[in-house]
Amino acid sequence: MLGVVLTIWTLYSTLISATELTFKLPDSEKQCFYQELEEGVTFHVDYQVIAGGNYDIDCFVTDPLNNALYEERRKQYDSFTHTTAMKGVYAVCFSNEFSTFSHKTVYLDFRSGEDDQLPPGINKPTALTQMESTCLSIHEILKVVADSQTKYRLREAQDRIRAEELNVRVSYWSLGEALIICVVSIGQVLMLKSFFKEKNTTRT
């Protein structure tokens, strides 16, 4: 049984290179990430702004000759897929230069390559057994589940940050209201005292 499990595990090994990170981008700044890729490699870029300002950012993807493959401005989230036409260093850049005071928190998922669904040592597809076909189906379903979990984590992080910002605003507003109430109360007390002092002076 252990041998079967190990065979299935190695049968569906992947050649995918993936980078998943969350970073902060200050206002009026630009950050780029670089990846060297071979010719004919398909890569995927997914990004989303999870905190800061209006949740928008500029994104650019360039090839080794600095030609623009993707260019979008003021986007909250998006996806981009491209197959390389040449070997070299590809750049994914995020710009917050249009913002003068809002810091942004950006999530980036960069994946390159495709699944290798053939067993080691086999150069052409062969007929799959029922167990192998089932494993392939499970593998594809798990990829969808992993993508869904990532989206839910991002949404949860975004909602949590918004809730924390709202909590801070409510706290400041409550503190301001309490301060105003104290000032008004002290003013009313002083005003009432001034009325009684005027009456005492008139009687004398």
Burial status of residue 145 (CB atoms within 10 A of its CB: 0-12, 13-18, 19 or more): exposed
pLDDT of 82? 94
pLDDT single digits (tens) 169-181: 899 999 999 999 9
CA dist., res. 125 & res. 143, Å (int): 22
Element (DSSP H or E) covering residue 9: helix 2-11
Report the alpha-carbon distance of residue 153 to residue 156 in Å, rounded: 5
pLDDT 10s digits, 99-116? 888 889 999 999 887 655
Per the model's pLDDT, the better-predicted residue between 75 and 121 turns out to be 75
pLDDT for residue 1 is more than 60: no
Question: Nearest Cα to 50, choosing from 181, 203, 165?
Answer: 165
pLDDT in the model for residue 60: 95
Quote the pLDDT of residue 197: 74
Give the tens place of pLDDT for each residue, 2-37: 333 333 333 333 445 778 888 999 988 999 999 999
* Residue 67 confidence (pLDDT): 94
Question: What is the set of domains in the chain, with CATH numbers?
Answer: 17-113 (2.60.120.380)
* pLDDT for position 102: 85
Instruction: Return the pLDDT at 4.
Output: 36
Predicted TM-score (pTM) of this structure: 0.65
pLDDT of residue 203: 55
Q: How far is CA 160 from CA 79, 146, 156, 165, in A?
A: 23, 21, 6, 9
Per residue in 45-83, pLDDT tens? 999 998 888 889 999 999 999 999 999 999 988 999 999
Q: Is 47 exposed, middle or buried (0-12, 13-18, 19+ CB in 10 A)?
A: buried
| pLDDT the model gives residue 95 | 94
Whether 191 has a pLDDT exceeding 90, the answer reads no
Average pLDDT of the chain is 81
Q: CB neighbours (10 Å) of residue 184?
A: 10
**Can you tell me the mean pLDDT for 115-137?**
64
Question: Confidence class of residue 163 from pLDDT cuts 50, 70 and 90?
Answer: confident
